[in-house]
Structure 1
Amino acid sequence: MQSRLLGATGLRVSSLALGTMTWGSVTDEHEAREQLTGFTQAGGTLVDTAAAYGDGASESLLGSLLADGSVARDEIVLATKGGITWRGGNRGVDTSRGALLSGLDASLKRLGVDHVDLWQVHVWSPDVPFEETLSALDLALSSGRASYVGVSNYNGWQTAQAATWQRAVPGRATLASTQVEYSLLARDIEYETLPAAEAMGMGVLAWSPLAGGVLTGKYRTGTPSQSRGADPAFASRVEIYEEDRSRGIITAVAKAAEGLEWTPLQVSLAWVRDRPGVTAPILGARTAAQLKEALSVADLTLPPEIALALDDVSAV
């Protein structure tokens, strides 16, 4: 698998990342171990989790796999996020300095490590001065709890403002990356967020590159009973793409896949991976078999004429 530098940093990561949002909730220990070992055996290094995933369950499960030697700690680039919590089914956001740093300490404990390679603020909050939020990143870096820092789900002006603030004074933690939704069905970040990230030397980690599985084509004739879309917690992610424009894009992906003798998953994932500014799409597979299919794209490159055709049909 190809490796890439994360933005204008020296941190080298794999061109595909492993997402762990469902670990510890939908994905059990056995399945998670298969995914993690399969990912690293394929040359993958970047593993992304968050304190909010399963209210810490994802981090705990990943930590247990590192502790039992399923994969050595130095084989992966470990990334997590803070600022969102889920308790009793209720979503909470707190990006204050105190909450972020105490949350990072809790993440390190669950993961069983003394530092993470990349720590990201999970979401922008208008309730806390952004300079206070960003000061937590400075402290995480200076204290050795994180080697690099970034943000997640910031829009264009928020990304530019945060990155500029961090570069304004020597000694502040430069933002290495931003993590945002990006796929053939979700291209809004091309207006401002991608240009802001490029201008500020930030790598882009693309979550939901398959639009919640919609771009695999499995929902074209209904919702399979074992699919993520059948889960009430994820159903809304599928429903938002049930309109004419989306169906046209999904059909175009299917036709491209047929012509190339690829799968729609491979077409969609290769398109995102090789978009300008993207460091790595994040793979959130439900099973090890699904992950294996996604990893097969590592050696595939879309022909330029197919990529251009998909650009045209999916343009916002």
Structure 2
Amino acid sequence: MECRPLGASGAQVSRMGLGTLSWGTGTDAEEAANQLVAFVDAGGTLVDTADVYGDGESERILGSLLAELVPREDIVLATKAAARRESGPFGGGASRGSLLAALDGSLRRLGVDHLDLWQVHAWDPAVPIEETLSALDHAVTSGKVRYVGVSNYAGWHLATAACGMRTTRIVSTQSEYSLLERTPEREIVPAARHHGVGLLPWAPLGRGVLTGKYRSGTPADSRGADPAYGGYVDHHRTDRAGRIVEAVATAAEGLGTSPLAVALAWVRDRPGVVAPVVGARDATQLAGSLAAEELTLPDAIRAALDDVSKPDGDAAPTRATDATDRNEASP
């Protein structure tokens, strides 16, 4: 698998990341092991989790696999903190005390002495940004973290954070980004590229809708049929999404590949993108995502998908003209 720089840093990551949102809930330890082995065997390095996934169970499963199955040095280990506010003297969220306590908890569950990438999971308006950033600086200078990033930040949030770091820098940002969700192109992508921050899209398959599995209904074994995830999937089951899915399916048929591969290749090669983070219920699903590594979309198909997925009211999107520009994480 091809690797790319993680923002304006010396770190290199695979151009696809493995997400672990369902580990410990819909995906058990055995299936998680199958996924991790398949991903690493394909050349994947970036594995992303969070302290709230499965209430910490995702980190625990990943830690056990690093201890018993896959060498720690073979992956770029990323996790996140501060996705929710809690009771207690530090109030949870992105306070310095809460963040540093969360970092220690993640290290303990993962069974490691440092993280390669530690990310603030969400903007916290209740905490001064200077306090949040001081925790990130401390995490790096203490040796517990190699690089830091953010997740689910708006464009101005990202720019503020990027300019406020003292001893290190923000190297990555996570945002939902796909053919069905292109709003990051308005502010987040320009801010990220200006500040040398690499974009790690989550839900690059439109929460599963872009695979085409919902074209004629809701499969019984899909997330859309799961009460815990139904609303999450339904967010993208709209008339506009239906038109985009049909265009993706037509492109896939013409290329002799899957709609999944087309949708993933499109977002992977957008300007500023480093690595889409893909999640899967099992190794079979993951294999479909890994197959996209062999696909580069022809310019004509990319242009057609750009046009059909253009957000309402937006001007025609500006397309990158070459692979180097599409893959760069900074101007």
How far residue 242 of structure 1 moved from its aligned partner, in angstroms, is: 2.4
Q: Which residue of 1 aligns with 2:107?
A: 108
Counterpart for residue 34 of structure 1: 34
Unaligned 5+ residue runs, structure 2? 312-331
Q: How many Å separate the matches in 2 of 1:93 and 1:214?
A: 34
Indicate the larger mover: 228-237 or 204-213: 228-237
Conserved? CA contact 1:149–1:177, under 8 Å: yes
CA distance in 1, matches of 2:250, 2:294: 21
Change (3 A) 1:85 1:161: closer
Map of 2:133 onto structure 1 = 134
- Choose the corresponding residue for 1:310, options 302, 305, 311: 305
Partner of 1:296: 291
Report the equivalent of 1:98: 97
Aligned 1:43-192 pairs, distance under 5 A? 43-68=43-68, 70-85=69-84, 94-166=93-165, 171-192=166-187
Tell me the CA shift for residue 85 of structure 1: 4.7
The code of the aligned residue for 2:239 comes to D
Contact persistence 1:54–1:86 (CA under 8 A): no
Q: Deviations over 1:190-209 (max 9, x none)?
A: 00000000000000000000
Give the one of 217, 222, 228 matched to 1:227.
Answer: 222
CA distance in 1, matches of 2:252, 2:258: 5
Q: Is the 8 A contact 1:52 1:86 kept in 2?
A: no
1:254, distance to aligned residue in structure 2 (A): 0.7
Q: Which string of whole-angstrom CA distances, capped at 9 and with x for unpartnered residues, describes residues 20-65 of structure 1? A: 0110111101100000000000000000000010110000000010
How far did residue 232 of structure 1 move?
A: 1.4
Shift of 1:264: 0.4
- SS of alignment partner, residue 147 of structure 2: strand
Are residues 1:245 and 2:240 paired? yes
**Cα RMSD (Å) of the superposition?**
1.2
**1:195-240 CA distance string (max 9 Å, x none):** 0000000000000000111000001111111111111121112212
Q: Secondary structure at the match of 2:78?
A: strand
Instruction: Using structure 1 for the length normalisation, give the TM-score.
Output: 0.95
| Equivalent in the alignment of 2:15 | 15
Shift of 1:150: 0.6
Conserved 8 A contact 2:148-2:169: yes
Deviations 1:247-276 (A, max 9, x none): 110110011111111100000000010001
Task: Give the partner amino acid of 1:233.
Answer: A
The reply to whether residue 201 of structure 1 matches residue 196 of structure 2 is: yes
Name the structure with the higher strand share. Answer: 1
Identity of aligned pairs, percent?
59
Could you tell me how far 1:164 is from its partner in structure 2? 1.1
For structure 1, the residue ranges without an aligned partner over 5 or more in a row are none
Residues in 1 aligned to 2:22 and 2:54: alpha-carbon distance in whole angstroms:
7
TM-score normalised over the length of structure 2 = 0.91
Cα deviations by residue, 1:147-197 (Å, 9 ceiling, x for unpaired)? 00010000111111110112xxxx422001101100000000000000000
Q: Distance between the aligned counterparts of 2:79 and 2:132, measured in 1?
A: 16
Alpha-carbon distance between aligned partners in 2 of 1:243 and 1:19, rounded to the nearest angstrom: 25
CA contact (8 A) 2:204 2:278 kept: yes
Aligned length: 307
Instruction: Look up the equivalent residue of 2:105 and give its one-letter code.
Output: A
Show the counterpart of 1:263: 258
Distance in 1 (CA, whole Å) between partners of 2:34 and 2:175 is 26
Aligned equivalents of 2:225 and 2:309: distance in 1? 26
Q: Deviations over 1:77-128 (max 9, x none)?
A: 00000002599xxxx9611000000000000000000000000000001111
Distance of 1:98 and 1:219 partners within structure 2? 44
The answer to whether the Cα contact below 8 Å between 2:85 and 2:92 also exists between their aligned partners in 1 is: no
